[in-house]
Amino acid sequence: MSIWNSIKTMDKRFSWSFLGTLIGIIGIGYGIYADFFKEEKPELVFDILSNTQVLDLKEDVSELQIHYKHQDLKKSKKSLVLITVRVSNKGNAPITENDYYSKTPFGFKITRGNIAEPPSLINSSRKFFENNVKFSIDSLNNIFIDKVPIDYDEYFTVKILTICNNGELPDITPFGEISGLRGEIYTVRSYESEKKEELSFWNKLTFGTFGIHVARFFYYLFCIALVSICIGIPTSKISDYIENKKKEKAIAKYKKGVKLKLSQYSETIFNFYKRFGESQISWLLKTLNDQKILEEYLIYMENKKKENSLMNDYLSSRPRHQDDIEITRIQYLGSIHAILNTLIEEKIIDQENNNEVKPDFLKELEEFNYYLNLK
C-alpha cells in the first residue's frame, strides 16, 4: 500500500476533518491575537558573556608578586577579572531615546568587585553604537550608559576590568526606567555553562518578532503532522493486518461448520467479505433479494440518475460512526462498481435474463450472512 493510500485509510479511520478544523481555528485565533491583542514591547537583557581571570595561577609561587596600580594583589588576596556584558533588545518593539525616563540614570552596577579600569565597547550589531554609546563611572562601581535607541534584535557588548576577592566573580545589577518594559531589566549569565540562569518560561515563550512566532507556528504544525503520519501509518497497517486476520479466521471457522457444501461462488463471497467487510455482505444480500433496487443500482452504473436515493439506501446499511458523507461517497462508488461488476462478469447476475441472480449464490450468501450475524 502506498503512503498516499495509507493516509487515505487513516483519514477514514480517524477524525482528520475535525483535526483540520481545530488547527484552522487555532491558526485564525493566533492571527487575531497577534494582530489585535498581542502587545508589542521591548525586552532589554543584560547578558554576562564571560567572567575571566586575567592571571590564573595554578600553583602558589612564594616569591611571585603581582602589582596593579601600586596594589599588591597577591598580598591582599585579590585578583583581576575581565567581565564582558552584552546589552540587547530581545523584544518585538524598539527602544527609542524618548522611552528612557529622563530623571533616572541607565546602566548597571558591578557587585562583588570594584572597577579597575573604565569600560569600553568591544563590538556591536551596527556602527551607530560604536560612535554613540559612551560610558561613565562613579566611586560606587556604577557604570552609566548613554541613552541610545536600541531596535529589536540589536545589541552592543562592553568589557570591564575589575578587582575581586580571590574565589569570587563579579556580578551586575542593571538599573534604569524604560517605557514599555514590564518588570525589571533581565540579567542572563551565559558564561555559566551548567548553572545557566535563564529567563522565565513565559518570557522565553513570548520572545521574538511576529515573523518568528509565525515561523514557529508552521514549524510546530509540520512537526505535529509528521509525527501523526509516522504514528498513524504503522497504526493503520497494524489495524488492517489484525482486521484481515480476524476475517480469515472467521472464514476458516465458517468453512468447518458450514451446513451447505461450498460451491464455486464461495470464494467470490469470501473475497467480498475480506475486501469490503461485513456490512457490505448484508447490503449485498438485501439488494439481490429486491429486484427493483438491484435494477436501480444497475441503471445507476450506466447513468448515475439514481445516485442520491441509492446513496441513502447504501448509508442505511453502514455503521453510524462511518457516516462521513464525503469519505463514504468515495467508498460507495468504489464498492458498488467493484461488487456488481464482479457479479456480472462471473454471470452471477444474468443480464440476458432480466438480471436474474443465481439461486445457489443467493442461498450461500444468505447462509454466510447469517453466520456473520451470529459470531
Residue 167 burial (CB count, 10 A): 7
Q: What is the pLDDT, as a whole number, of residue 325?
A: 47
Enumerate the domain spans of the chain: 44-206, 258-374
- Which of 267-281, 299-313, 344-358 is the least confident region? 299-313
Q: Label residue 24 by pLDDT band (50, 70, 90).
A: low
Condensed to tens digits (0 to 9), the pLDDT of residues 90-142 reads 988 999 999 999 999 999 999 999 999 999 999 999 999 999 999 999 999 99
Could you tell me if 283 and 317 are in contact, meaning their C-beta atoms sit under 8 angstroms apart?
yes
Residue 98 burial (CB count, 10 A): 10
| Interatomic CA distance for residues 95 and 123, integer angstroms | 19
Nearest to 122 by CA among 150, 166, 159: 159
Q: What is the DSSP letter of 40?
A: P
Residue 354 has pLDDT above 80, yes or no: yes
Listed in sequence order, the residues at least 6 apart from 286 whose beta carbon sits closer than 8 Å to its beta carbon are: 293, 317
Packing angle of the helix pair 307-315, 325-345 (nearest 10 deg):
100
Grid cell at residue 281: 455482505
Nearest to 181 by CA among 94, 107, 105, 108: 94
The DSSP-derived string for 179-209 is TT--SSPEEE-TT-SSS-----HHHHHH-S-
Could you tell me if 271 and 341 are in contact, meaning their C-beta atoms sit under 8 angstroms apart?
no
Higher pLDDT, 326 or 176: 176
List, as own/partner pairs, every contact residues 193-200 make where C-beta atoms lie below 8 angstroms and the sequence separation is at least 24, other chains included.
199/45
Return the beta strands (E) in 31-125 as ranges.
Answer: 44-53, 67-68, 71-72, 78-89, 107-111, 114-124
Mean pLDDT of the residues in the chain? 79
Could you tell me if 224 and 27 are in contact, meaning their C-beta atoms sit under 8 angstroms apart?
no
Work out the burial of residue 324: count CB atoms within 10 Å of its CB; fewer than 13 is exposed, 13-18 middle, 19 or more buried.
Answer: middle
Q: What are phi and psi of 240, to 5 degrees?
A: -65, -40
Residue 14 has pLDDT above 70, yes or no: no
Could you tell me if 168 and 133 are in contact, meaning their C-beta atoms sit under 8 angstroms apart?
no
Reported as type and span, the H/E element at residue 41 is none
Report the pLDDT averaged over residues 38-51.
88
| CA distance readout (Å), 6 to 21, 85, 157 | 21, 55, 54
Q: Label residue 196 by pLDDT band (50, 70, 90).
A: very low
Q: Label residue 191 by pLDDT band (50, 70, 90).
A: confident
Nearest to 92 by CA among 192, 205, 257: 205
| CA distance readout (Å), 39 to 99, 149, 180 | 16, 20, 10
Residue 240 has pLDDT above 90, yes or no: no
Higher pLDDT, 144 or 198: 144
Report the pLDDT averaged over residues 300-326.
57
Nearest to 355 by CA among 303, 286, 292: 292
